Amino acid sequence: MQLGQPEGIESRPFNAISTAHKVPEELLLAVCSLSSSKKYYDTLATLEKTLARDVLSSLRDAAYLPEVRQKFQSEQCFKVSLLRDSTARELLDSAGTRFGTQRQLIGQFSTKILLDGASAPHKFEFDFLPRGSVPRRIHSIVGLNGVGKTQVMARLAMLLSRFSNQATNDNRSTLQSEDALDPVPSIYTVVAVSFSAFDEFERPTQAQGEEFKYSYCGLQGDGGLLKSKEDLLNDIRTMISAEMPPEKRALLKSVLGNLVRVNDLDEFVDQPQLHASLYERLSAGQRLALNCICHILAKIGPRTLVLFDEPELHLHPQLLTGLLSSLAEILANQDSFAIVATHSPLVIQQLPKECVHVIRRDRMTPMVLQPTFQTFGESISEITRFVFASTESDRDYRAVLDNMFAAAGGDIDQVRQLFDGQLSLNADIYLESLRGHSKGEVAK
């Protein structure tokens, strides 16, 4: 390809040059190439190394020449055509190392997603690059209902996996739309997970999943029917009984302690037929959590992105935090990442503010913000107040205390007695503020 190259076979750089004619040097210096075939680089590697490097340099191979990659990677032709499949994306990062180039992985990228009816796109800046030991492998998208979180997650799945039934039918790339991805990150596999009966993820066939390296794990089964508890249990048994590599089986045993309580995790995983009654007694939430962890482990490889829509559905808080801990351990082990759409401040509490993306909407114009304070370890009330735009007019516990304070004639001790003197610190501070405000009004 060359800079600014439009669509169409007639636009190819060497299209006008007849066979056996020499390519002008100025044209060679203006192009970029990349193979989507591992065999191409395998064959080059059989040549004398200097000759192989000369070939790659002459063809301005983006996997071998970092300066060429940097120059071309934001071009639409590069993203749509040269990186059309996941094999090409892997080769871009890895093929050059065979000829002496240092591997360069992209973990920082931006995306724009224009939803129907919106006057402007949602703009996100994702940065998964490590900063010491601060956890950055999980990012979250949060906001009130109706701001487009679920739709954004579905579109992210399409952009990053390139899988879309409509795009396939139209014989085009998912990047040939109003949505944008820049640059294409070093992500080779996408796993979409949802506990919602109303998620918008597309579900690939087995062949499509293998082609696009994209898989779906959720409550929706074949034909759009919802899976039963028995279906979820059978899925777990199948995945655990299947040929899972030893290293993944060991990782499964390591993380299961966050989700279930059994005396012998080794037997629970290696011999599920001996623990049928234990599997049967799993709660609905445990079956969901185990199902998604088993699915992620089965599909994950290096540089996988897990898109998890509302993990808090059907889970109590302890199981939710256990699930997040398990996910974080798996991601670190597999050099992979996750984007979680959530309503739960418990999820936000586990993440640094740089990894929290808050969606708000001014009429039909979306805004994506980051918290102004450190969310990691912050109180649930503070996170809820900012992230979910909680205001003094919301009908929360403060509105109830307002009414009780008024009914007690401003006597906060009387209100405290109604709770047997066991009000939380936040509620008690708020009561004191009401008394202070009331005294101020009397003084005036």
CATH of the domain at 227: 3.40.50
* 10-residue stretch averages of pLDDT, the chain, 444 residues long: 85 84 87 96 96 96 96 93 91 96 94 88 94 90 84 93 86 84 95 87 89 89 76 80 82 89 79 72 85 92 96 90 94 96 93 93 83 90 77 66 90 90 82 73 45
**How many whole angstroms separate alpha carbon 172 and alpha carbon 190?**
19
Residue 218: per-residue pLDDT? 85
* % of the chain exceeding 90 in pLDDT: 50
Are both 173 and 313 inside the same structural domain?
yes
Global pTM?
0.85
Are both 357 and 253 inside the same structural domain?
yes
Q: What is the DSSP string of 66-131?
A: HHHHHHHTTSHHIIIIITSSHHHHHHHHHGGGGGTPPP----EEEEEE--TT-SS-EEEEEE---B
Are both 63 and 183 inside the same structural domain?
no
Residue 239: per-residue pLDDT? 80
The residue out of 99, 122, 142 marking a domain boundary is: 99
Full residue range of the structural domain in which residue 412 is found: 397-443
Are both 44 and 135 inside the same structural domain?
no
Q: Is residue 1 part of a domain?
A: no
In 316-364, beta strands by DSSP E: 337-342, 356-362
Q: What is the DSSP string of 212-278?
A: HTEEEEESB-GGGPBPPHHHHHHHHHHHHHS---HHHHHHHHHHHTTT---S-HHHHHH-GGGGHHH
Are both 155 and 300 inside the same structural domain?
yes
Residue 442: per-residue pLDDT? 43
Are both 323 and 431 inside the same structural domain?
no
Residue 275: per-residue pLDDT? 66
**How many whole angstroms separate alpha carbon 335 and alpha carbon 305?**
10
Q: Is residue 57 part of a domain?
A: yes
Residue 440: per-residue pLDDT? 52
Are both 59 and 141 inside the same structural domain?
no
Q: What is the residue type of 136?
A: R
Q: Is residue 3 part of a domain?
A: no
What's the Cα-to-Cα distance from 146 to each of 142, 152, 360, 363, rounded to whole Å? 11, 11, 9, 11
